[in-house]
Amino acid sequence: MNHQELLLKAIRKELLGTSLNDEIARVLNISYDAAHRRVSGKSKFSIEETVTLANHFNISLDSLFSNKENVIIQKTIEIKSLKDMLNYFKNSALNIAELTNSPDAVLYYSAKDIPLFYFMEGTLMSKFKAYVWLLMLNQDQKKERFENFVIDESFMEHMQKLKKVYENIKVIEIWNDTTINSSIQQISYYYEAGLLSFKTAVALYEDLKRILDVVKNKSNRLDSNYSLYYNELILLNNNMLIKCEKKLTMFIPYTLLGYFITHHNESCENVHQFFNMQIISSKLLNMAGTRDQNQFFNSATRKIDYYKEKLNNQVDLQF
């Protein structure tokens, strides 16, 4: 059976008494005759048509066309400018919203770094993260001072949309003691590089502490769809997995913001099992006692305060 026949067979399984020709014509916006030629094998689906049909009927191309050693992947857009970043957040919000439109959808996040969704609030830290991402993803980006960095309102609008999508689904995050490290060190690095003022660096550390308070408050809501796990044993990797009734979708980081995306069933199932293994060996902070929860968040706060004090000492030495 060739690839086109495999795809048509999978589509037939999704149809309930509807004409296959009619559905193909409707989804691809082509004539009935053109659809009939494709269904009968007289014409071939284009790559674009194949992807359109797979997305519409929620069919994994990996399961149809690849073997165990080969996985079909998509990837997020490459970021070289603020415009690219704006489109990245816009597309991410649309993609995640589409994948989580089922009431049973669950998003798993292995938080090597603080999940980017916490930097979508239009705060000083949101602007700083955009500044850092752009400098690190585009070597030609002018290294201006952060205080002179400007982003327009449409950028924040799409960041807010992505944040809203994340807040409206069931989320399981796994953190450890190093999850906040990169954000702390980025502030320190750009201050020492002369690209941040002392006042701004201190304000950013305070905003980082505010984000920790947001996470702590979320984990304390009784009616929350949010679960926070603390894992002491495994190095986390920023992998993300979305599980819904019909399929699993995995996001594998390959650059700072870039992700490979796959629906490959076996790979996604393996990652789902691995997430469950991590959860078993982790502590659910939502259900932990006050002492255990405070130990985790107080430790992170002390780490931020240490770097704030380090800034103060550097200023004192200058005088």
Clarify whether residues 35 and 90 are in a common domain: no
Cβ count within 10 A of residue 121:
17
**Residue 200: inside a domain:** yes
Clarify whether residues 218 and 136 are in a common domain: yes
Six-digit token string for 193: 């590089």
Which candidate, 164, 155, 149, places its Cα nearest to that of 97?
Answer: 164
Strands 106-110 and 240-243: antiparallel
**Residue 245: inside a domain:** yes
Clarify whether residues 46 and 108 are in a common domain: no
Q: Say if residues 281 and 222 touch (Cβ distance below 8 Å).
A: no
Burial of 318 (0-12, 13-18, 19+ CB in 10 A): exposed
Clarify whether residues 90 and 49 are in a common domain: no
pTM of whole model > 0.85?
A: no
The alpha carbon dihedral of 36, 40, 45, 50 has a sign of positive
Residues of the chain with pLDDT > 70, as a percent, come to 95
Clarify whether residues 40 and 103 are in a common domain: no
Clarify whether residues 133 and 228 are in a common domain: yes
What's the pLDDT tens digit per position in 240-266?
Answer: 999 987 789 999 999 889 999 988 888
**Residue 253: inside a domain:** yes
What's the pLDDT tens digit per position in 13-49?
Answer: 888 777 899 999 999 999 999 999 999 988 898 888 8
Total domains in the chain come to 2
**Which residue do the tokens 């000492």 mark?**
313
Clarify whether residues 212 and 101 are in a common domain: yes
pLDDT at residue 152, rounded to an integer: 77
Which candidate, 110, 117, 125, places its Cα nearest to that of 178?
Answer: 110
Clarify whether residues 190 and 82 are in a common domain: yes
Question: What residue numbers bound the domain in which 30 lies?
Answer: 3-59
What's the pLDDT tens digit per position in 184-227?
Answer: 999 999 999 999 999 999 999 999 999 999 999 999 887 779 99
The DSSP line for 215-235 is: HHHHHT-TT-SEEEEE-SSS-
Clarify whether residues 299 and 151 are in a common domain: yes
Clarify whether residues 48 and 92 are in a common domain: no
Clarify whether residues 224 and 183 are in a common domain: yes
Clarify whether residues 48 and 96 are in a common domain: no
Helices (H) and strands (E) in the chain, counts: 12, 8
Q: Is 238 left (phi over 0), alpha (psi -120 to 50) or beta?
A: left
**Residue 294: inside a domain:** yes
Q: Say if residues 241 and 275 touch (Cβ distance below 8 Å).
A: yes
**Residue 66: inside a domain:** no
What's the pLDDT tens digit per position in 88-123?
Answer: 998 898 889 888 888 889 999 999 999 999 999 889
